[in-house]
């Protein structure tokens, strides 16, 4: 019986964070630290004719101006393997592929001097007269990319033409979403220090092992000579899931000046060189019988990528698995533009895809004059419809029912614009939520120390989600120790290997390894006690003893007990260690693994002004077993909050004349603040997944952003009768009727 796992334990690193003791990549002081500033292009396409560095180089304190003229050739500069290792801008040539592309690095003894000197560079460009900056016109040259992460570019099941014709009620609509950029509180930063052939990097990364491998490859080094440390991250969300140019440039700069160098991106530099969410255009065609049974569905998408690499926002993934539609076709195409390469951004594909799918389902519900929840239940997928596999665990039906009940869905009147309170139009909308359950191989090491405390470590990351805390809980429970006596270490490439913290996989991948390692250490502690003539438990059978609060105890006679510290002391004082790995098995051959949920939103729209407030959001989630009720709730709330931002606010605006983002700052790139968020009510079903891993826990980092945008848009339609198919849903679009 679980006593620690699942408890709403406070974050073990909470005090460190609120007192400023938690150190982030840009905060590691090194003796003789020098400061680098990244210089980026001001044109979107062309070549650099020259960079006059003379003035910058003569300024006081300036140690280095790195441009393509003096940049060393890098063995792996072009050998990157996307998407984990990106096509980088490493000053190996004079080509410019997008605005804000790295073109130089200036290093000085202070940040102020480096910043000042960077402004004195005189860059002459030969700008191309035709940068590709307009998505609509570039779409004519769209191409079919290679599959990304093994995902089929096109799918077809059944007979799509017959299916679309069989349904007498149809929806045919195009949905568009804008480019967006990650804005975690902490922008990317790297601190690089060399010691002979060894490189230490303090880096904002969602994967210390991936970063180690990528940097080693780029610089032509052995991975064992690269040590990556990342104890805390001020938010990841996907942008820190790849190694980008500045990390390698910082390492080179440090080598060149012979001093440790810190390079922190500015907020505007978050817009371009480190990825973002691409613009998407999604064409949905749905057909159904009058009773709501789906007969056919098409989902064809375009999304932009850059000129240097194909990266796909895989929108139709959600359409392929969510409903039991017998005839279906989906596809994606990429549109090359002179912008930075897009990347993973919280639920990449699922966020944008669920907006199109779940909005089109709402439109179909109105066309059928059917309740939106009933339409979804009518087409409930009892098995995974694309591969016809059973779900490992699916409780979506319960999510709809519990959500509708908590939200008060029965109070909703069917007709748009039928609910109001004075000048306020009230709208209620809902959507299905889903995200795949991912898992990779991971390992961990547990060590019981002579003082009776335990340390458990794994080379995973805490990207702000609560990894330190949940792993402490898993370890403590498996050890039989109180949580106060267990500490958890992570964020270091020298620790036992664990996967990158992306795809919502860390909790699900690492916790089985942590549990295995901790159980192994516990077994050894028991063995030591039983074999020890000095122990009150000497001679007992292993089955008759357990570990409680750090004491080995006889089950039959709890007065026979022995604390870990005494056991270790009598055995010679050496720590007890156990290492373990947890790997995926054959379960994916037999089951489809997904998490699910239902989200309901109530919006208030000013009838005269079109201003939209999200008054309430109710979300109910089936994510397997919950490891910590508090961090889980925080994750899910955070996903909903971001969904509100994506629905109503977020949009990176590209000036097509110059290919520059005009709102590359937090004043004009709008994200929700507290005043934008109404009541959020999160419920987690907490049903363990019997087939996924030994804990039954699936990931929760990304799921809650899915569905929210559609639920809000559907509520806006219900409030106003205006269907906005282009994100963000702003008041001008609501009033433009
Ligand atoms: Mo997530 S977008 O895979 O960090």
Query: How far does the centroid of ligand 1 lie from the alpha carbon of residue 439, in Å?
Result: 13
- Give 19: exposed, middle or buried? Use CB within 10 Å, 0-12, 13-18, 19+: exposed
Minimal CA–CA distance to 547: which of 489, 486, 629? 486
Angstrom distance (rounded) from CA 282 to CA 351: 12
- Per-residue pLDDT band for 583 (boundaries 50, 70, 90) equals very high
Q: Has residue 737 got a pLDDT over 80? A: no
Residue 379 contacts residue 371 (beta carbons within 8 Å):
no
- As a whole number, mean pLDDT of residues 121-148 equals 96
Query: How many other CB atoms are found less than 10 A from the CB of residue 678?
Result: 15
Q: Has residue 31 got a pLDDT over 60? A: yes
Angstrom distance (rounded) from CA 234 to CA 225: 26
Query: How far does the centroid of ligand 1 lie from the alpha carbon of residue 438, in Å?
Result: 11
- As a whole number, mean pLDDT of residues 125-142 equals 96
pLDDT tens digit sequence for 177-211: 999 999 999 999 999 999 999 999 999 999 999 99
- Position 444 scores a pLDDT of 98
Angstrom distance (rounded) from CA 397 to CA 151: 27
- As a whole number, mean pLDDT of residues 115-122 equals 98
Angstrom distance (rounded) from CA 668 to CA 695: 43
- As a whole number, mean pLDDT of residues 463-491 equals 98
Q: For 371, what's the count of Cα atoms within 13 Å in the CB-facing half-sphere?
A: 11
- As a whole number, mean pLDDT of residues 352-356 equals 98
- Per-residue pLDDT band for 29 (boundaries 50, 70, 90) equals confident
Ligand 1 close to Cβ of residue 237 (< 6 A): yes
Q: Has residue 642 got a pLDDT over 60? A: yes
Entry pTM: 0.97
> What share of the chain has pLDDT > 90, as a percent?
97
- Position 421 scores a pLDDT of 96
- Order of strands, edge to edge, in the sheet holding 561-563? 545-548, 551-554, 561-563
φ, ψ (nearest 5 deg) of residue 521: -65, -40
Testing ligand 1's pocket by substitution, the residue of 151, 182, 183, 238 carrying the most ligand atoms inside 8 A of its CB is 238
Q: Has residue 1 got a pLDDT over 70? A: no
- As a whole number, mean pLDDT of residues 481-492 equals 98
> What share of the chain has pLDDT > 70, as a percent?
99
What are the E-state strand segments in 270-352? 280-288, 294-305, 328-336
Query: Hey, which residues are catalytic here?
Result: 702
- Position 283 scores a pLDDT of 98
- As a whole number, mean pLDDT of residues 263-270 equals 98
Angstrom distance (rounded) from CA 101 to CA 274: 10
- Position 477 scores a pLDDT of 98
- As a whole number, mean pLDDT of residues 448-470 equals 98
Ligand 1 close to Cβ of residue 206 (< 6 A): yes
pLDDT tens digit sequence for 403-423: 999 999 999 999 999 999 999
- The torsion defined by the Cα of 462, 463, 469 and 474, in degrees rounded to 10, comes to -60
- Position 284 scores a pLDDT of 99
Ligand 1 close to Cβ of residue 503 (< 6 A): yes
- Position 83 scores a pLDDT of 67
Testing ligand 1's pocket by substitution, the residue of 207, 344, 461, 704 carrying the most ligand atoms inside 8 A of its CB is 344
Q: Has residue 48 got a pLDDT over 90? A: yes
- Position 77 scores a pLDDT of 84
- Position 84 scores a pLDDT of 67
Minimal CA–CA distance to 205: which of 475, 448, 491? 491
Query: How far does the centroid of ligand 1 lie from the alpha carbon of residue 470, in Å?
Result: 19
Reported as type and span, the H/E element at residue 420 is strand 420-421
- Position 78 scores a pLDDT of 78
- As a whole number, mean pLDDT of residues 433-442 equals 98
Q: Has residue 158 got a pLDDT over 70? A: yes
Reported as type and span, the H/E element at residue 62 is strand 62-66
- As a whole number, mean pLDDT of residues 304-320 equals 97
Minimal CA–CA distance to 236: which of 206, 265, 212? 206
Query: How far does the centroid of ligand 1 lie from the alpha carbon of residue 170, in Å?
Result: 34
pLDDT tens digit sequence for 220-248: 999 999 999 999 999 999 999 999 999 99
- As a whole number, mean pLDDT of residues 260-268 equals 98
Q: Has residue 75 got a pLDDT over 70? A: yes
The answer for residues whose C-beta is within 8 angstroms of residue 74's C-beta and 6 or more apart is 90, 92, 218, 219, 220, 248, 252
């Amino acid at each position: 019986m679980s006593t620690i796992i699942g408890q709403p334990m406070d974050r073990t690193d909470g005090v460190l964070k609120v007192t400023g003791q938690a150190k982030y990549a840009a905060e590691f002081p090194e003796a003789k630290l020098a400061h680098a500033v990244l210089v980026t292009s001001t044109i979107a396409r062309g070549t650099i004719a020259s960079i006059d560095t003379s003035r910058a180089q003569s300024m006081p304190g300036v140690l280095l101006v790195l441009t393509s003229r003096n940049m060393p050739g890098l063995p792996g500069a072009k050998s990157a393997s996307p998407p984990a290792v990106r096509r980088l801008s490493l000053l190996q040539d004079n080509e410019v592929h997008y605005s804000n592309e790295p073109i130089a690095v200036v290093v000085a003894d202070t940040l102020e001097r480096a910043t000042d000197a960077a402004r004195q560079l005189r860059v002459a460009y030969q700008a191309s007269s035709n940068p590709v900056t307009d998505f609509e016109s570039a779409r004519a040259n769209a191409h079919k990319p290679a599959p990304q992460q093994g995902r089929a570019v096109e799918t077809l099941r059944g007979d799509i033409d017959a299916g679309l014709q069989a349904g007498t009620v149809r929806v045919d609509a195009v949905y568009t979403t804008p480019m967006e950029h990650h804005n975690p509180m902490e922008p990317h930063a790297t601190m690089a220090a060399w010691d002979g052939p060894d490189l230490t990097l303090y880096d904002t990364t969602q994967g210390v092992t991936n970063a180690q491998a990528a940097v080693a490859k780029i610089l032509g080094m052995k991975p064992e000579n690269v040590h990556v440390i990342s104890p805390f991250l001020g938010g990841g969300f996907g942008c820190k899931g790849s190694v980008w140019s500045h990390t390698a440039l910082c390492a080179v700069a440090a080598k060149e000046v012979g001093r440790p160098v810190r390079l922190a991106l500015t907020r505007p530099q978050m817009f371009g060189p480190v990825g973002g969410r691409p613009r998407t255009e999604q064409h949905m065609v749905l057909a159904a019988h009058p009773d709501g049974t789906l007969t056919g569905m098409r989902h064809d998408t375009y999304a932009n990528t850059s000129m240097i690499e194909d990266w796909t926002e895989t929108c139709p993934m959600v359409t392929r698995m969510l409903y039991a539609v017998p005839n279906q076709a989906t596809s994606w195409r990429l549109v090359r533009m002179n912008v930075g390469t897009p990347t993973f951004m919280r639920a990449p594909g699922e966020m944008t895809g669920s907006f199109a799918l779940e909005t089109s389902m709402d439109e179909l519900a109105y066309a059928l004059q059917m309740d939106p929840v009933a339409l979804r239940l009518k087409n409930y997928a009892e098995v995974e419809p694309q591969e016809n596999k059973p779900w490992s665990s699916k409780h979506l039906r319960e999510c709809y029912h519990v959500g509708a009940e908590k939200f008060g869905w029965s109070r909703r009147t069917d007709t748009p614009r039928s609910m109001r309170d004075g000048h306020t139009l009230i709208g209620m909308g809902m959507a299905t939520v889903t995200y795949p359950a991912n898992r990779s191989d991971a390992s961990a090491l547990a060590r019981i120390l002579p003082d009776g405390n335990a340390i458990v470590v794994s080379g995973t990351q805490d990207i702000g989600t609560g990894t330190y805390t949940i792993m402490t809980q898993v370890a403590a429970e498996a050890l039989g120790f109180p949580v106060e006596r267990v500490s958890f270490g992570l964020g270091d490439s020298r620790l036992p290997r664990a996967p990158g913290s992306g795809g919502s996989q860390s909790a699900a991948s690492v916790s089985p390894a942590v549990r295995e390692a901790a159980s192994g250490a516990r077994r050894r502690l028991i063995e030591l006690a039983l074999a020890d003539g000095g122990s009150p438990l000497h001679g007992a059978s292993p089955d008759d003893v357990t570990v409680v609060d750090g004491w080995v105890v006889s089950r039959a006679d709890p007065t026979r007990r022995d604390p870990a510290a005494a056991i270790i002391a009598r055995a010679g004082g050496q720590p007890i260690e156990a290492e373990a790995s947890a790997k995926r098995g054959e379960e994916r051959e037999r089951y489809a693994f997904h998490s699910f949920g239902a989200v309901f939103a109530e919006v208030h729209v000013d009838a005269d002004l079109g201003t939209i407030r999200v008054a309430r959001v109710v979300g109910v989630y089936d994510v397997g077993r919950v490891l910590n009720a508090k961090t889980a709730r925080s994750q899910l709330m955070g996903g909903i909050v971001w969904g509100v931002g994506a629905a109503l606010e977020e949009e990176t605006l590209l000036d097509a004349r110059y290919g520059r983002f005009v709102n590359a700052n937090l004043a004009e790139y709008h994200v929700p603040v507290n005043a934008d968020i109404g009541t959020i009510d999160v419920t987690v079903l907490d049903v363990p997944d019997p087939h996924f891993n030994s804990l039954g826990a699936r990931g929760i980092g990304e799921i809650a952003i899915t569905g929210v945008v559609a639920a809000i848009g559907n509520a806006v339609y219900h409030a106003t009768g205006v269907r906005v198919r282009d994100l963000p849903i702003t008041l001008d679009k609501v009033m433009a009727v």
